[in-house]
Structure 1
């Protein structure tokens, strides 16, 4: 298994966890943090601590995702190719030939409406 494949699997897992953490939050006081509040008398861990945990989890997962994406760029196997641009090389040849331009001959008897030459 290549290093890039490992980074790719980690990126998918972190992205999934980030989506789950974001979906659990509700900016209007609902979501997971309000379900712990109940009627306001019984709190399991407290609403404020749950919101802080979800907020810190979001920032941590987002930072981890960004770092993994940047590190995965280093792990891409480029096959040892020369990364210089061929547009700057004056000796480089193009792999595709230029399209042929049809040659138009002048025919004094032909008119624009009659292109067959009759």
Structure 2
């Protein structure tokens, strides 16, 4: 497995986790933070601590995603082959053969007004 493939798998996992963390949040104060701290102050962490955790994890995952994307760009196998455009190269003149012209069918079925004999 190449380094780029490992980075690609990590990017997919981090992106999925980032989507999950963002979907759990609710900008109106609901979501996961309200279910943990809504009943009283003796709950798991309280509203403020849950919101802080979700906010910090969102920033951490977004930063990690950005770093992984930048590092994967370095890990791409660019090869030794030149990727310059061949369209601008004057030495490489390749011509495509033209398709063979097909003759139009000739028929003598066209009737002229003089040929028609209507009675």
Which range, TM-score by smaller chain? 0.7 to 0.9
Deviation at 1:103, TM superposition (A): 8.4
Query: What CA distance in whole angstroms lies between the structure 1 residues aligned with 2:46 and 2:13?
Result: 28
Query: What CA distance in whole angstroms lies between the structure 1 residues aligned with 2:20 and 2:57?
Result: 11
Query: What CA distance in whole angstroms lies between the structure 1 residues aligned with 2:98 and 2:58?
Result: 55
Q: Could you say if the C-alpha distance between residues 68 and 99 of structure 1 is closer, same or farther in structure 2, counting changes exceeding 3 Å?
A: farther
Backbone CA RMSD of aligned residues: 2.5
Deviation at 1:98, TM superposition (A): 5.0
Residue 65 of structure 1 pairs with residue 55 of structure 2: no
Unaligned runs of at least 5 residues, structure 2: 109-119
TM-score (normalised: structure 2): 0.73
TM-score (normalised: structure 1): 0.73
Kindly tell me the number of residue pairs found equivalent between the two proteins.
108
Unaligned runs of at least 5 residues, structure 1: 105-113
Query: What CA distance in whole angstroms lies between the structure 2 residues aligned with 1:92 and 1:66?
Result: 40
Q: What whole-Å deviation, never above 9, does each CA across 1:29-66 have from its counterpart, x for those lacking one? A: 11111111132443421211211211121122112112
Query: What CA distance in whole angstroms lies between the structure 2 residues aligned with 1:84 and 1:48?
Result: 56
Q: Provide runs of 4+ in structure 1 moved above 6 Å.
A: none
Contact 2:38-2:47 within 8 A present in 1 as well: no
Query: What CA distance in whole angstroms lies between the structure 2 residues aligned with 1:12 and 1:49?
Result: 28
